[in-house]
Chain A
Amino acid sequence: MSMPLSQKLFLYVLLTVAAILVFAPALLALLMSFMPSEQILTGTIIPDSLTLDHYRKAFERFPLMSYLLNSLIVSLLITAGQLLLSSLAAYAFVFLEFKGRDTLFFLFIATMMIPFEASIIPNFQTIRDLNFLNTYTGLSLPFFAMAFGTFLLRQNFKQIPKELKEASEIAGIGDLKFYLTVVLPVAKTSLVTLGVYGFLSAWNMYLWPLLATTDDSVRTVQIGLKQLQSQEQLNEWGVIMAGGIIVVLPTLILLFLGQKKLQKGLTEGALK
């Protein structure tokens, strides 16, 4: 079934306008990152010359490569931890019946309501006491348990027919084996979705990585972005925009590559 040309055209126009609107802020940043400083500061829209200076400066300002690597490690650790813990918890909430389960689930959901900024100082003290400052552990551990992920996977696991579980019990398959061989493969796509979500939010964290580190050894790239901004002096917006582009690029590439998978994950009813 194909639609009439006029309708197609109309849709394309709508799509293009929407795409331009959605992409405009990023486009502005991209443009500014190549514009000479005087032109940015005097409010030029279309620059008459372009420069790579800002990128050069951004690279000189902080150990960008090691920050990027740290971001990658921390984000991967958090993603892995979240997937593991969320799926284990979701499994218990769906397939194991025990007293107080619903109360416990509600308690889990309730943790989503605690604003992170309110718990950040006690958490910092905990990490300090555990001697986890300036470690990848300190950066990632507090985010392993994730109510949102548990919630999402629980909704997904519920799709798996109860009969399957009963049959496996009769066949003498234990819970751990059932979890590993049946539940995880079936939920693969929603795990991918959750993974991408977790990775992106971990990549974009700022306040916690700043607090939990005191030196450059495990710092992440968002801190680098902040490091480009000054307090009492004039900001070099070109350099900051260049930094912003550098920081955003890896995630955009990931999104672009993961697009198909991600969509499939969502398509297969991850969220029903």
Chain B
Amino acid sequence: MKKRLAYGLLGLSIFAAGCSSAGTEAESGTAPKTEDGKTVVTFWHAMGGQAQEALNETVADYNASQDEVQVNAEFQGTYEESLPKFHSVAGTDQAPTVIQVQEIGSMSMINSGNIEPIQKFIDEEEYDMSILEENISNYYKIDGQFYSMPFNSSTPVMYYNKDAFKAAGLDPEAPPKTYEEVEAAAKAITESNPEMKGFALQAYGWLYEELLANQGGLLMDNDNGRSDTPTEVAFNNEKGKSTFEWVKRMIDAGTFANYGTNGDNMVSGFLAGDTAMFLQSSASSRDVIDNAPFEVGVAFIPHPEAEERQGVVIGGASLWMSSGKSEEEQQAAWDFMKYVQTPEAQAKWHVGTGYFAINPAAYDEQIVKDAHEKMPQLKTAIEQLQATKPSPATQGALMDMIPEERKIMETALETVYNGGDVDEAFNTAVEQVNAAIEQANAARGN
């Protein structure tokens, strides 16, 4: 019998055998330290691919720049994968000191109670946040407070194939500015080359929101959620519908290329000469320009003729501070956050990734000037951002259920791409987003 019991325990002992504890142990109240006495800051991020290289470089530069703090950057999967994990470990030793969160996750981070608003540190040392790009600050300043430190930021721009423009008899230096001009250009291109579609719009909620903001349209009521929690959509009007109608007209004219929700396919379609214009994040510009076998133009995103151009909303992610960490650890993390926005660090970051420099002083750094000289197209996105008129529309909507809203809008766009009725698709989307808002407000107990 004893033997048998031993056997039963054998299984358990195997688990124990595989057990090895890694990472630094932290007791509450004291900051984790490296062997040589540096304070350890754990930084969770979602940057894969080339951006990860640039990020690791920034962190390495910081670690080398001083000998008090050691920042460990840890990849945690996509934004979507890292957030539930953060919420599950928040308040424990396993929680990171700093976490990178997508801009639309801002509201749920604030609601979670797991974070320390960085305004606290700003106030303590009267740190000057006005050095940051105003239009980026506008997004992240919520009720007059900074909850997180802006970081990787981008906006959409319109890419176009200059060679195709020339072939169609269009002026490659005067890209279309309005929906109507885009339509006309697309038509001209497809007519000159039936193999090539004129324009592609990825079914992506972010792009829809940007096109809405460019017309001065609000996504949600209560000033895009800036004055109070939204209770219903605010795009149920001509501004909200115009994008749908615009796309529909191009589909009917046979000048629209449908790549569904897949941005990669769209870009490779553009590079392969299957489509002449498309909207995409400015963070891709280096890659697009580098890899294109033709000359690429970059332009502002279009707007309907009837509406004045308002500008773009910032997209990307910001850095958040965990609550429940020792003062020392938080101070160390704050120091890192301040380093990240220095002109030198931002200059490297901007050149290495294509994201904006959140600190415009970086644009005067030599490496940025060199890069801009080589690729003047990179400047367009910056000009577009700086030409943006501040308003609740271009500040961007704040709400915790925006990821869900995006999915709904994507489905609606796809319905139209595949021949669905504009009114029906649009009205269904409005209904669904309203239901989602209601549900989200109920879940918070409001």
Contacts and interface: CB of A to CB of B under 8 A. Distances in A.
Counting chain A CB atoms within 10 Å of each CB, which of B18, B88, B154 scores highest?
A: B18
Interface string A70-86: 00010001001100110
B22 A135 contact: yes
Interface stretch (A20-28, A106-114, A182-190, A215-223): A215-223
Interface in B342-386: 353-355
A88 B10 CA distance: 12
B20 A125 contact: no
Contact of A128 (B14, B46, B88): B88
B387 to A, nearest CB: 22
Contacts of A174: 3-4
A136 B20 contact: yes
B146 interface: no
Given A144-B11, A231-B79, A236-B50, A41 B291 contact: yes
Nearest to A40: B268
A128 B66 CA distance: 33
A85 B8 CA distance: 10
A218 B85 contact: no
A234 B283 CA distance: 8
Contacts, number: 154
State which size class the interface on B falls in: 35 or more
A172 interface: no
A80 B17 CA distance: 12
Interface string A205-247: 0010011001111100001001111111111110100000000
A217 B23 contact: yes
Given A214-B96, A215-B22, A232-B154, A137 B15 contact: yes
Contacts of B77: 210, 223, 226
Nearest to A138: B19
B74 A233 contact: no
Contacts of B264: 234-235, 237
Interface residues of A, number: 53
A124 interface: yes
Nearest to A74: B18
Contacts of A230: 47-52
Contacts of B14: 77, 80-81, 84
A152 interface: no
B88 A228 contact: no
B52 A231 contact: no
A233 B22 contact: no
B283 A137 contact: no
A133 B85 CA distance: 11
Interface in B1-34: 3-4, 7, 10-11, 14-16, 18-23
Given A43-B272, A80-B14, A227 B52 contact: yes
A41 B267 contact: yes
Given A85-B11, A136-B20, A214-B96, A226 B72 contact: no
A144 B42 CA distance: 31
Interface in A124-177: 124-125, 128, 131-137, 140-141, 144, 174-176
Nearest to A129: B92
Contacts of A11: none
Contact of A121 (B16, B52, B78, B84): B84
B72 A232 contact: no
Given A125-B88, A216-B74, A217-B22, A234 B4 contact: no
A37 interface: yes
B85 A211 contact: yes
A108 B42 CA distance: 41
A42 interface: yes
Contacts of A137: 15-16, 18-20
B224 interface: no
Given A42-B272, A233-B281, A210 B76 contact: yes
Contacts of A56: none
A61 interface: yes
Given A214-B44, A233-B283, A140 B11 contact: no
A42 B268 CA distance: 6
Contacts of B84: 121
A228 B77 CA distance: 10
A141 B19 CA distance: 10
A239 to B, nearest CB: 8
A215 B23 contact: yes
A97 interface: no
Report, nearest first, the 5 A-B pairs whose CB atoms are least far apart: A230-B49, A234-B287, A217-B22, A43-B272, A136-B18
5 contacts: A140-B15, A214-B96, A215-B72, A234-B284, A235-B264
Given A137-B15, A230-B48, 19 more contacts: A38-B293, A42-B268, A61-B53, A81-B11, A84-B10, A121-B88, A131-B21, A132-B19, A133-B94, A135-B21, A144-B15, A175-B4, A210-B77, A227-B75, A230-B50, A232-B51, A233-B287, A234-B287, A236-B49
Interface of B: 3-4, 7, 10-11, 14-16, 18-23, 42, 44, 46-53, 72, 74-79, 81, 84-85, 88-89, 92, 94, 96, 152, 154, 264, 267-268, 271-273, 281, 283-284, 287-288, 291, 293, 315-316, 353-355
Interface of A: 37-38, 40-43, 61, 73, 77, 80-81, 84-85, 88, 121, 124-125, 128, 131-137, 140-141, 144, 174-176, 207, 210-211, 214-218, 223, 226-237, 239
